[in-house]
């Protein structure tokens, strides 16, 4: 085999390995930090269609993380309640369509404030509103 053919085969193999790892390595990590104003504990309870992660109490500035496999169909969804003294809100903390470009290779980082969750990007905060659904 000529060096040229070997080189082409090697590049081809590299591409195959890359494509395979992007198909099979579907792990996503979500970080949520309690930045609720007023030094309040925040209770987070997240679920997906298949998993119930259970309630977790975060003290002020404490972070919580969970890891899951993205769905091949592209429709992974994790929804959570966020409670602190006198308040309860819903938010979809991971919507694959919305979030996959932000956190395919790095964790999704969220900061929780009273007004809603903000995406914690290196150079910006994109803030979202709570869902209007009733939370008890
Ligand atoms: C927050 O939670 C901690 C430990 O769970 C508890 O000791 C503390 O009293 C709580 N603080 C408030 C303000 O509820």
Q: Is the pLDDT of residue 29 over 70?
A: yes
Name the nearest CA neighbour of 72 among 9, 30, 109, 25. 25
Stretch 48-63: mean pLDDT: 96
For strand 116-121 and strand 124-127, is the pairing parallel, antiparallel, or unpaired?
A: antiparallel
Mean of per-residue pLDDT scores for the chain? 88
List the single range of 11-20, 75-84, 92-101, 117-126 with lowest mean pLDDT: 11-20
Residue 74 is predicted with a pLDDT of 87
- According to the model, what pLDDT value does residue 121 have? 84
Domains of the chain with bracketed CATH: 26-127 (2.60.40.10)
Whether residue 132 is predicted with pLDDT greater than 60 in this model: the reply is yes
Q: Is the CB of residue 81 below 6 angstroms from any atom belonging to ligand 1?
A: no
Q: Tokens at residue 84, please?
A: 């602190």
Q: Are 52 and 68 spatial neighbours (Cβ–Cβ below 8 Å)?
A: no
**Residue 46 half-sphere exposure, CB side, CA atoms within 13 Å?**
22
C-beta 59 within 6 A of ligand 1: yes
Q: Cα of 128 to ligand 1 centre, how many Å? A: 27
Query: Which pLDDT score, from 0 to 100, does residue 13 have?
Result: 61
pLDDT of 10 higher than 80: no
């Amino acid at each position: 085999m000529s060096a040229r053919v070997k080189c082409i085969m090697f590049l081809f193999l590299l591409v195959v390995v890359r494509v395979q790892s992007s198909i099979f390595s579907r792990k996503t990590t979500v970080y949520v930090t309690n930045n609720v104003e007023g030094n309040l504990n925040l209770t987070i309870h997240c679920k997906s269609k298949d998993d119930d992660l259970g309630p977790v109490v975060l003290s002020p500035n404490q972070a919580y993380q969970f890891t899951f496999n993205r769905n091949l169909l592209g429709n992974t969804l994790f929804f959570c309640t966020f409670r602190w003294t006198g308040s309860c809100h819903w938010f979809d903390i991971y919507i694959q369509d919305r979030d996959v470009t932000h956190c395919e290779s790095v964790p999704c980082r969220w900061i929780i404030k009273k007004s809603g969750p903000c995406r914690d990007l290196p150079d910006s905060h994109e803030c979202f509103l709570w869902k209007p659904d009733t939370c008890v």
